[in-house]
Structure 1
Amino acid sequence: MSYRFVIGTLLLFLSWGAVAQSPAISSAISYSRDIQPIFTEKCVACHACNDAACQLNLGSGEGAARGATKVPVYDGDRTKAVAPTRLFFDASGKTAWQQKGFYSVLDAQGSQAALMARMLELGHKTPLQPNARLPEDIVLGLNRENMCAMPAEFDGYAASHPKEGMPLAVTGLTDQQYQTLQRWLAAGAPIDQQGLVPSAKEARQVVQWENLLNAPGARESLVGRWLYEHWFLAHLYFTDGEPGHFFQWVRSRTPSGQPIDLINTRRPNDDPGTQFYYRLWPVQGVIVHKTHITYPLSSAKLARVKSLFYSGNWQVNALPGYGPQSRANPFATFEAIPAQARYQFMLDNAEYFVRTFIRGPVCRGQIATDVIRDNFWALFQAPEHDLYIIDPNYRGQATPLLAMPGQNDDVGSVLSLWHDYRDKRNEYEALRRDSYADQPAPSWSTLWAGNDNALLSIFRHFDSASVTKGLIGDVPQTMWLFDYPLLERTYYQLAVNFDVFGNVSHQAQTRLYFDLIRNGAEQNFLRLMPADSRDGYLDDWYQNSGKFKMWLDYETIDNDKPTALSLNPQDPKRDFARQLLARYGDLNARPDPINRCDGAYCSRPNIDPGLQSAEQALSRLTSRPAAGLKVIDQLPEATMLRIETGSGKREIYSLLRNRAHSNVAFLLGESLRYQPGLDTLTIFPGVLSSYPNFMFNIPAEQVPAFVDAMESARDADSFEKIVERWGIRRSHPQFWPYFHDLSRYIQETDPVEEGVLDMNRYENL
């Protein structure tokens, strides 16, 4: 091992460890040992990410010291973009954050205690009635107005909201936790938290990956930029690394071996403005599930990347610049990199890429999610059947048409910009339709089946969504088929180019174009269906006002070219699903007998008999429209069922409400397009939402009684009896152990994915 490598690794360790918040440490109380665990247990579920109330993020000492602000991240009406306020990125230290409009919640104000101390005191002296429904005057969820009282405003807040201390409207701190926090605050709230430091093995691998992305040469620079733009959201982990250690790619003014000097542009493809290096930076703070989009790194992955991007003799004549034009069309920006390599790289970890734009890092995603249905399956076109990959002439015609809006955020130009990009997109769709009409009819080989990322299920829960490997639930109303141009555009439009701090023009353009992307994915899928069935499916997906939208904004489909698939003409989509499950069963990571019961046994084999009986009973609730199962009308989007057997084993199930819509083609008025009588339920083992809306705790032997009660519940009063018997309300004495058991379940079943769940959407049932 070289002397230079040892020194470089040592400097790397020093650079990562140099983020201590304060040298002052109370001899009695340690922030890292005593305080952060309380925040993690009782506060982070609401105070994390961009949608933390008042931007108070309690997942780290840096967030606690930063404090709060009255400026919201989510404001759909703002005409001007606001300055980003990303923790760890856009400022460092209390003074720098105060210059950006934040105020302390930890500092005493003259003779007054710290704002946090007073908020905690207000909550502690007004405990909730155990497991009772909360008073109606306590507004929760996304409809709550963040008042963000400053220290001088606290007395007025307390007088107006005497029952709304902290933690808000939930079983609060224990006496010991309360006393510990108050002692810490009275002592000046010293913070001794240290940054995460990788192991020696991880540090060696960090150097290998940084060397790859920073390799000299035009070809290497272009690949490094493309990889960075596709990894910037990832919580990367080494498959042989330390549990709980994650890293993220950043751009730094300093090379490997030196402390990271962060370049904090709004977007990952904005001009860095100086010479820079790609660096792997340990993820700091508590891991929260909603932003935890994981990606594995290993020696095999390193070899795969080198093989994909450097095996050919392709060359780069000139490196592209930055700016709006480069952001708008990554197909032109990176056209020198073989399209086959780019697409295959995305397919290898397709679940990650779909998660980046469906689940997303923004913590409140209705700007995107109200353009998708509540459940659908996603499939991918095989590279050898993708004309953009295999036909240079087609690729040359298509590339100029694939530019995306959102780079110009002039409010007055929204409609003209939208029409320009819509017309380009429709010209591309016409080119695609006509070009594929000259190709062999699509067959099963049209679908990519390279690994278990090939089949994905998406569930939308109003303003959030989840992505899971495997085909879950009954056959959905729609399916999406991604080819490379569609997958890459979706990723750039909703992840790389999207600015959560942007104005109404930028966000409207993003939303409107995603509508076209969804339509394109549906049209791709329709090519697999018999030609004479396609118009009927399209009419079903775009009912009522959707027909006007089809006429106004969408290119016409190919309803003439046949498919090579042999499908039952009575119900070709369901027959397609049946054959898909049979043909690719080895890739389907999630067999689903509960929702797709095709015999007498509607439960998974080889599990505890008590759980088998429970699943058998639960299957009675699935795939039934709300017109015949009235309790669906009372259920929120994502409910968790905790079922425990007599032997102490427990399983967590997600009970998801799939809302039916006449169409999802418009920016506003979603509630006007609900079809509540057609809503259904999906029940599946696992935690399929970062935002549980409610939870039931049911002994396994009582599941048949729970199902009976659900089947017979016809109104709110009868549903409330179910909640009274089995529900875990926010005021339940054991709320926090049950709530965090959801995260423990993830840790037990898929430890890499564990993170603290969000309770901002936990409802007052």
Structure 2
Amino acid sequence: MTSRLLFAVVVCLTSVWSQAEPISYSRDIQPILTAKCVACHACYDAPCQLNLGSDEGILRGASKVPVYDGARTKAQPTTRLFLDAHGEAAWRRKGFASVLDSQDDQAALMARMIELGRSNPPEPNAKLPADLDLSISRENQCPLPGEFDEYAKKFAHAGMPFAVTGLSDDEYATVQGWLEQGAPVDSSELKPNAAEQKQIADWEALLNARGAREVLVGRWLYEHLFLAHLYFEGGERGHFFQMVRSRTPSGQPIDPIATRRPNDDPGNDFYYRLWPIQGVIVHKTHITYPLSAKKLARVKSLFYADNWTTDQVPGYGLQRRANPFETFAAIPAQARYQFMLDNAEYFVRTFIRGPVCRGQIATDVIRDNFWALFQAPERDLYITDADYRAEATPLLSMPGQLDEIGDLLGLWHSYRNKRNEYEDLRRDAYSDAPAPSWSTLWAGNDNALLSIFRQFDSASVRKGLIGEIPQTIWLMDYPLLERTYYQLVVNFDVFGNVSHQAQTRLYFDLIRNGAELNFLRLMPPESRQGYLDDWYQNSGKLKMWLDYTEADMDKPTGFIWTSGDPKRAFAEALIERYADINARPDPINRCSGAHCYRNGLSPLLRSSEQALSRLTKRPAAGLKVIRQLPEATMLRIELPDGKREVYSVLRNRAHSNVAFMAGESLRYQPGLDTLTVYPGVLSSYPNFMFNLRGEEVPEFVAAMEQARDQAAFDKIVERWGIRRSHPDFWRYFNDLSAYIGETEPIEAGVLDMNRYQNL
């Protein structure tokens, strides 16, 4: 039987079956969309804003207007799913077009897009046509039904799924059968179980308690948890919740108030509610935060143990947004900072993985890999010295509240000058404080040591000290951590105009500089200028003169090192001293002996990690193939017992400095690039994947070491690579998400393939 005839039989049987039992959206269609569409169509960066992770998303349809637009001169209306409109009619009024309705005797847009993809399949596991633009910055091609014929002629290879192996015969027949039935969409609402309902009631009671100080604490907690995917101790797997402001109190259906920012005025009568998150969980927006009875007791202890009082609650408005240190001054600073430290990974994730960090201009303010440490509250003068706190607070206002383009430079200079005045104040105040020592560093739990990796236009955060000792280390105190969170998360408007986005990015540059200067004070005075010159080479020196204040070059440190490289000596001592709270020991990248692998592995995996560690030992000058590698490559290693291990191979690009928004390529130092290899999926956006058997790992590593040009790398890809056109692409790609579900179930979510490259 020919394949064409076989397919006809499948379609026929599907048609007969569908007449007996209608195809269900929730049972039959959403799983297909989750497996092969959500990887591109989710969140703000979904092409055409078509979000296929929920019934509400598919009914909303598509829009020609992109969310991410760094050049728009006016802020655009918000189009957040589940918040800014409800129901098809409301979304049509906002300019969204249906992808499910047939029009003028033409099939639905979704049906035609899928058919276009099916009629022009890619050659199995071959490179896609070079003229097919796969970049996330490609033109937003969103044809309306009447424009489809012209679109199909112009973009014959741009059917759905886009530039990737398509649907199977069964999947295709099911989706087309559903569309022919009129595409009925049934809703499957997530509801909390009994254990979750009890804890929801307890948390909502705390958040909505009356009294001036209780209202102020509730407001602060909401502004710090609104982005979280909250989950409960004893809760059901896959159940997550978000904190919203609702017009209705506990016990009634939630009616969310859709303000542009979480610290905009919600009106007079509102209540904080915990709302089940609907739809498919995607990894890039899945920033988790745990709730439990123990956490509730911790919050009460932190915020209400001290006998502090207030008789009024500040209003909402520009100044309240610009300076949360003033807005929440009545709440003890110790409580605010400690709450953030307890789950520091969550807060750093919000501004490293959140909406602001999408695209090169958003992320090139940070280096490709660095570690973050935190100042102990008892050594933070903003916490311990009321006079210093009163003097510093007015200087901690942040820009971005006004978005006039004509006065962008004037707005920026005023906030930059305030920040530099604060840095001068801080430098002088700490000159009279005890010299930095180990007691300067907070070491309360495993959130104390974080690793950040940038992958060109995205970034990720993990607990623990991963990778080789980095070029820079951040030391964040409370004013830095809180300002970063408010500037990049609470106050950032992804729908804002170019002025707002530029101010946000420019201020983040100052924050990075402040964190680096804080760390510099741990180093011996005679070494500081050398490190500073290394961090700000070439044009970086101009930026230091233009925008930064003077670093503290004289204050003694309590750290005494005999090594010629005090930073390395400090880092090595940090790893040893805090081994008990280092969540991810790393013998692969920091192998100091003959055993470059983790403990407890099988002989095959030990030899695999031993081989992989060789890729981390040299910069690009010795490992030529690094120039062909993208930022985030996944290695899937198959084992004889049917299991597999996944490793991330991250390319760390070296820069002379990261002090400017434009011209990044001019600051590359490719001869100094390095690789970090570590178990697990360390990026929401895999750029490529290799699949190999465990016994092939030494051969794979040797081939990588010997490759000197593109032709040699192409041979590696041909043998082990999983291209977008691979017949089993989706099985391998979705297995990465499955691996996260097995190894870190709370963090599991569908990965994004918008950055998967055409190698």
The normalised TM-score by structure 2 is 0.97
Cα distance, 1:539–1:592 mapped onto 2, change above 3 Å: same
* Alignment-derived partner of residue 348 in structure 1: 342
Deviations 1:16-67 (Å, cap 9, x if unpaired)? xxxxxxxxx9941110000000000000000000000000000001000000
* Residues 76-475 of structure 1 mapped to structure 2, 5 A cutoff: 76-361=70-355, 364-475=358-469
* Alignment-derived partner of residue 13 in structure 2: none
Cα distance, 1:363–1:330 mapped onto 2, change above 3 Å: closer
Structure-2 separation of matches of 1:726 and 1:548: 46
Structure-2 separation of matches of 1:365 and 1:347: 28
Deviations 1:93-133 (Å, cap 9, x if unpaired)? 11101111100000000210000000001111222111111
For residue 172 of structure 2, give the secondary structure of its aligned residue in structure 1.
helix
* Alignment-derived partner of residue 702 in structure 2: 708
Moved more, 26-35 or 271-280: 26-35
By how many angstroms is 1:365 displaced? 4.5
Structure-1 separation of matches of 2:443 and 2:543: 34
Q: Is the 1:368–1:514 Cα contact (8 Å) retained in structure 2? A: no
Structure-1 separation of matches of 2:585 and 2:144: 52
* Alignment-derived partner of residue 637 in structure 2: 643
How many residue pairs match? The answer is 741
Structure-1 separation of matches of 2:452 and 2:755: 19
Q: Are 1:525 and 2:519 matched, yes or no?
A: yes
Q: Are 1:619 and 2:613 matched, yes or no?
A: yes
* Alignment-derived partner of residue 8 in structure 1: none
Structure-2 separation of matches of 1:383 and 1:469: 20
Q: Is the 1:126–1:163 Cα contact (8 Å) retained in structure 2? A: yes
By how many angstroms is 1:630 displaced? 0.6
Q: Is the 1:119–1:166 Cα contact (8 Å) retained in structure 2? A: yes
Q: Is the 1:79–1:503 Cα contact (8 Å) retained in structure 2? A: yes
For residue 225 of structure 1, give the secondary structure of its aligned residue in structure 2.
helix
User: What is the letter of the counterpart of residue 366 of structure 1?
Assistant: Q
Structure-2 separation of matches of 1:395 and 1:502: 32
* Alignment-derived partner of residue 499 in structure 2: 505
Structure-2 separation of matches of 1:196 and 1:87: 16
User: What is the letter of the counterpart of residue 130 of structure 1?
Assistant: P
Q: Is the 1:593–1:602 Cα contact (8 Å) retained in structure 2? A: yes
What stretches of structure 2 of length at least 5 have no aligned partner? 1-18
Moved more, 642-651 or 31-40: 642-651
Match of 2:570 among 576, 581, 591: 576
Q: Is the 2:356–2:362 Cα contact (8 Å) retained in structure 1? A: no
* Residues 652-671 of structure 1 mapped to structure 2, 5 A cutoff: 652-671=646-665
By how many angstroms is 1:700 displaced? 1.0
Structure-2 separation of matches of 1:368 and 1:176: 41
* Alignment-derived partner of residue 13 in structure 1: none
Q: Is the 1:51–1:363 Cα contact (8 Å) retained in structure 2? A: no
Q: Is the 1:617–1:704 Cα contact (8 Å) retained in structure 2? A: yes
Deviations 1:266-288 (Å, cap 9, x if unpaired)? 00000012310000000011000
Structure-2 separation of matches of 1:26 and 1:377: 59
Structure-2 separation of matches of 1:90 and 1:367: 27
User: What is the letter of the counterpart of residue 456 of structure 2?
Assistant: F
Deviations 1:487-529 (Å, cap 9, x if unpaired)? 0000000000000000000000000000000000000000100
Deviations 1:562-581 (Å, cap 9, x if unpaired)? 11012234010000011000
Q: Is the 2:538–2:656 Cα contact (8 Å) retained in structure 1? A: yes
* Alignment-derived partner of residue 628 in structure 1: 622
User: What is the letter of the counterpart of residue 424 of structure 1?
Assistant: K
Structure-1 separation of matches of 2:659 and 2:308: 42
Q: Is the 1:49–1:363 Cα contact (8 Å) retained in structure 2? A: no
* Alignment-derived partner of residue 553 in structure 2: 559
Structure-2 separation of matches of 1:309 and 1:656: 41
Deviations 1:732-764 (Å, cap 9, x if unpaired)? 111111101111111111100000000000000
Moved more, 558-567 or 522-531: 558-567
User: What is the letter of the counterpart of residue 58 of structure 2?
Assistant: A
Match of 1:681 among 672, 675, 678: 675
Moved more, 560-569 or 711-720: 560-569
* Alignment-derived partner of residue 748 in structure 1: 742
What stretches of structure 1 of length at least 5 have no aligned partner? 1-24
Q: Are 1:728 and 2:722 matched, yes or no?
A: yes
Deviations 1:674-718 (Å, cap 9, x if unpaired)? 111110000000100000000000111111111111011111111
For residue 254 of structure 2, give the secondary structure of its aligned residue in structure 1.
coil
* Alignment-derived partner of residue 544 in structure 2: 550
Percent of aligned pairs sharing the same letter: 75
For residue 511 of structure 2, give the secondary structure of its aligned residue in structure 1.
helix
* Alignment-derived partner of residue 580 in structure 2: 586
Q: Is the 2:618–2:674 Cα contact (8 Å) retained in structure 1? A: yes
Structure-1 separation of matches of 2:292 and 2:105: 56
Structure-1 separation of matches of 2:20 and 2:593: 64
Structure-2 separation of matches of 1:654 and 1:568: 35
User: What is the letter of the counterpart of residue 615 of structure 2?
Assistant: L
Structure-1 separation of matches of 2:90 and 2:158: 30
Q: Is the 2:355–2:494 Cα contact (8 Å) retained in structure 1? A: no
User: What is the letter of the counterpart of residue 435 of structure 1?
Assistant: A
* Alignment-derived partner of residue 15 in structure 1: none
Q: Is the 1:377–1:471 Cα contact (8 Å) retained in structure 2? A: yes
Q: Is the 1:54–1:148 Cα contact (8 Å) retained in structure 2? A: yes
Q: Is the 1:134–1:764 Cα contact (8 Å) retained in structure 2? A: yes
The normalised TM-score by structure 1 is 0.96
Structure-1 separation of matches of 2:107 and 2:144: 13
* Alignment-derived partner of residue 541 in structure 1: 535
Q: Is the 1:56–1:68 Cα contact (8 Å) retained in structure 2? A: yes
Query: RMSD over aligned Cα, in angstroms?
Result: 1.0
By how many angstroms is 1:648 displaced? 2.3
Structure-1 separation of matches of 2:665 and 2:142: 30
Q: Is the 2:348–2:461 Cα contact (8 Å) retained in structure 1? A: yes
* Alignment-derived partner of residue 16 in structure 1: none
User: What is the letter of the counterpart of residue 717 of structure 2?
Assistant: V
Structure-2 separation of matches of 1:645 and 1:187: 45
Cα distance, 1:293–1:318 mapped onto 2, change above 3 Å: same
Structure-2 separation of matches of 1:538 and 1:275: 52
Moved more, 361-370 or 58-67: 361-370
* Alignment-derived partner of residue 46 in structure 2: 52
Structure-2 separation of matches of 1:27 and 1:189: 14
Q: Is the 1:141–1:762 Cα contact (8 Å) retained in structure 2? A: no
Structure-2 separation of matches of 1:59 and 1:143: 22
For residue 136 of structure 2, give the secondary structure of its aligned residue in structure 1.
helix
Structure-1 separation of matches of 2:92 and 2:602: 55
By how many angstroms is 1:604 displaced? 0.8
Deviations 1:165-224 (Å, cap 9, x if unpaired)? 100111100011001101111111101122111101111111110110000100000000
Q: Is the 2:356–2:489 Cα contact (8 Å) retained in structure 1? A: no
By how many angstroms is 1:138 displaced? 1.2
* Alignment-derived partner of residue 597 in structure 1: 591
Structure-2 separation of matches of 1:647 and 1:89: 47
